[in-house]
Structure formats: C-alpha cells, structure tokens
Amino acid sequence: MSTTPSPALAARTTVWPVLIAISLCHMVNDVMQSLLSAIYPLLQAEFSLSYGQIGFLTFAFQVTASLLQPVVGAVTDRHPQPRSLAFGMASTLIGVLLLAFAGSYAMLLTGAMLIGIGSSVFHPESSRVARTASGGRFGTAQSLFQLGGNAGQAAGPLLAAFVVVPLGRPAVAWFAVAAAVGVVVLTRVGAWAEGRRRAAATAAVAQPIPAAARPMIIRALIVLAILVFTKNIYSALMSSYFTFFTIEKFGLAPRGAQIMLFLFLGGMAAGVMLGGIIGDRIGALRVIWFSILGVLPFTLILPHVGLVPTGALAFVIGLILASAFPAIIVFAQELVPGRTGMIAGLFFGFAFGMGGISAAALGLLADARGLIFVFNICSALPVLGLLTVLLPRPADLMQGRG
C-alpha cells in the first residue's frame, strides 16, 4: 500500500489489494449488523424483552446506522478522513463486546448504537476509498466493495445459528476478533488513502452545480431514490418472507426453505459483482434499465410456478435485481462530482433504512391478507423501472453543465 510515484499514473491504476481489503472489511461490518438481529431470540429469552423493546433496539441501531450516513458523508466530502475507517471498525468492535457481555437492556442499546455508528462511518468513507483505488473502473470497484457487504449479510444468520445459539451469547465476543483484524487492516488502508489524497495534484472537490443543470440533477437523484426504494421493497420481501412463502406454498421443511433463500442471496451476490463490471463496459444507465425493468417478467411469473422453477427464478431475480445498485451509486456519484461520500452515505443509508421499514410494513400486510397476496402485489413493483426514462444521458448531463 505504498504511495505511487505519479498522481496521474495512480489515477489510472486499479489498486486491487486496497479494494479486496475494503471488501473484506465490508463483510466484517455487515456480519456484525446482521448478527444483531439474528440473536434477538437469545436476547429476548435472557432479558425477558417485550416486542416493543426489541423494536426499540432495532430503531436505535437503524437511526445510527442509516440516518447518520449522509451526514458523515457530507462532512467528509469537505474534510476527507480516511483514517476514520479504523475508528468506525473500533466502534463496531466495542459494540459487539457489549452485546456479548451486557448485563442490562441499556448496555444492549449502547452496543447496538455503537455498531450503527461504526457502519455510518464505514460506508461513506470506504466507498470513497474504493473509488480512489478503482483506477477508473468505478463500477467494478463499487461491485467488489458491495460484494463483501452482501456476503456479510448472508453469513450473519448462519454464524448465529451454528456458533452463537449452541455456545450462548458470550460466543458473540469471538466475532470481535474479526473486528480487531478489521481495525488493523483499515488503519493501513486509511494511511494509504491519506497518502494518495495528499499526493494528488488535483483532488476531487465539491463543484458548484450550474443553475441550468440543477433541475435535471435533482430530478435524476429523485428517480434513483425511487428505483432504490423499489429494489429494496422487493429485496426485503424475499429476504424476510421467501422462506415462509415456500413453506406455505410447497410444504418445504425449514432447511429446504433456507436453501431456496440462499439461491436468491447467491443470485444477489453474483449480480452485485456483474453489475459493476458490465456497467464499466456499457455504461451505468444501461445496466439500470436492464436491472430494474428487466426483472419484471421474472417477478410476475414467480408466484405462479412450481418448486423447481421457483428456485431458478429466485436466483435469476436476485442476480438481475442486485446488478442495479452498483450502477445506481456510480451514476449518482457522476451526477454530483466531489460528493462521493455524501452520495454513498445517502444511498446506503436510504437502502438500509427502507429495507427495515419495508419488511415491517410487508409483514403487517401479510398478516392481514396473506403471503401469496403480498408476493402477487410486489411482483409488479419493477414496473416503476420505467422511470429510468427520466434519467439524463451522459451527453445531456455534459450539455447541462456546459
């Protein structure tokens, strides 16, 4: 992670060790996030928590994990702090230890909030570092970064099931070892990024948006937010209720239902990687068109087919749907140059927050009308991908700024 001899050459060079390090640390960060909700049954039994207290635990975590991200991103856009990455992981480390050894509900709340703060610091700044290390392969870098997060989200419940449940809540402390390694790795990554920032002759700075381009850019950001909203409603549906759907419709045992869910999660992991790589070749806008609207035929069919086609469709839907997010982040960052951290914080925070809200709302609807009804209604959500027509083409954007 040494400083490169020429800023111009450095800007064209993809620094794979940094990208891999950031991706692995993203995996650690998101394992800790998903681990929190995965151990709720243990916490409820040990502390005699009400559902209201569990809900407030989630609220405390999500407020710090999602709402703070755009604020952190906006501040670090003006005053980049790559060394803060290690601080963010250290906050997560302390939060995990509190969850493992908390003796009261207040300590649990503090641990959840510290994990949320760590996530708020990590996502905007690490997204900026990934862009810096991309060598111009912005989509590929964003995909590799997000791949770690997807892997962490999928691994958290499994680790809880096979480690924490058999060994008890103190076993959560073992995951602090991974966070401690993350602190060391991010200390080095932060030092590399700080050196790259100082060596750059023309650092990316926030540029004032010309008055003529502002309406177009604001409209585009609103459209992108709606597309992320659409994507995350459907992702929340699948992540939270697909297992119950397959159990109810096909009579699967829990293990079989989990395999069906992993098909969807595996598709998402593949899609988030392919979306950025392909976007670097054909453009982010085309990937957004394909991902959000192209998934529509498959979501419409899913509630009406047999077991084997359902598994195949789950993988395909996950793959196509997930390919949009790296493209959306890259497209949004190109809309507002110099605001990399704010855009990353805004969209990661929005995506995370909307996922939690959507899961709760869909659960209430399922209680009232049934899961099959919910899947049928949500199958049409990707039609909102037609709003992509409102996004500016690169030539339009350049002309608006000219």
Do 135 and 180 fall into the same domain? yes
Residue 206 inside a domain? The answer is: no
Give yes or no: residues 229 and 320 share one domain: yes
Query: What CA–CA distance (Å, rounded) separates 168 from 337?
Result: 48
**pLDDT tens sequence across 230-258:** 888 888 788 778 888 888 899 988 778 87
pTM equals 0.74
Do 232 and 186 fall within a single domain?
Answer: no
pLDDT at 332: 84
CA 25 vs CA 152, 191, 205: distances in Å: 9, 15, 26
Domain assignment of residue 168, yes or no: yes
Flag whether pLDDT at 401 surpasses 60. no
Average pLDDT over residues 1-30: 75
Domain containing residue 245? 214-401
Q: What is the Cα–Cα distance from 305 to 287, expressed in whole angstroms?
A: 27
d(CA 346, CA 340): 10
Q: How far is CA 363 from CA 125, 145, 191, in A?
A: 34, 30, 45
Work out the burial of residue 270: count CB atoms within 10 Å of its CB; fewer than 13 is exposed, 13-18 middle, 19 or more buried.
middle
Do 303 and 235 have their domain in common? yes
Regarding predicted confidence, which is higher, 215 or 183? 183
pLDDT tens readout for residues 68-114: 787 777 787 777 778 889 999 999 999 999 999 999 999 999 999 99
Residues 222 and 334 in one domain: yes
Structural domain count of the chain: 2
Look up tokens 């991706």; give the residue: 23
320 pLDDT more than 80: yes
Q: Are residues 181 and 277 in the same domain?
A: no
Instruction: Decide if 2 is inside a domain.
Output: no
CB-based contacts of 369, cutoff 8 Å, min separation 6: none
Q: What is the pLDDT of residues 345-363, one digit of tens each?
A: 777 776 666 666 777 788 7
Indicate if 222 and 275 belong to the same structural domain.
yes
Q: Do residues 121 and 225 both lie within one domain?
A: no
Q: What share of residues in the chain are helix, strand, coil (percent, to 5)?
A: 85, 0, 15
Distances (CA, A) of 193 to 82, 179, 187, 333, 357: 6, 20, 10, 19, 35
Confidence of residue 9 (pLDDT cuts 50, 70, 90): low
Top pLDDT among 396 and 277 is at 277
Whether residue 209 is contained in a domain is answered as no
Residues 190 and 239 in one domain: no
**27 or 10, which is more confident:** 27
In the 3-class helix/strand/coil scheme, how is 263-285 assigned residue by residue? HHHHHHHHHHHHHHHHHHHHCHH
Contact between 141 and 14 (Cβ < 8 Å): yes
In a domain, 91, yes or no: yes
Task: Give the Cα separation of 315 and 260 in Å (integer).
Answer: 9
> Does 396 lie in the same domain as 267?
yes
Residue 391: helix, strand or coil by DSSP? coil
Scored b (16 or more CB within 10 A) or e, 97-115 reads bbbbebeeeeebbbbbbbb
Q: How far apart are CA 368 and CA 379, in angstroms?
A: 18
Amino acid 82: pLDDT = 80
Kindly state whether residue 92 falls inside one of the protein's structural domains: yes
* Plot region of 48 (φ>0 → left; ψ -120 to 50 → alpha; else → beta): left
User: Is residue 275 a part of any domain in this protein?
Assistant: yes
Within a domain: 195: yes
The mean pLDDT value of the chain amounts to 82
Task: Give the DSSP letter of residue 201.
Answer: S
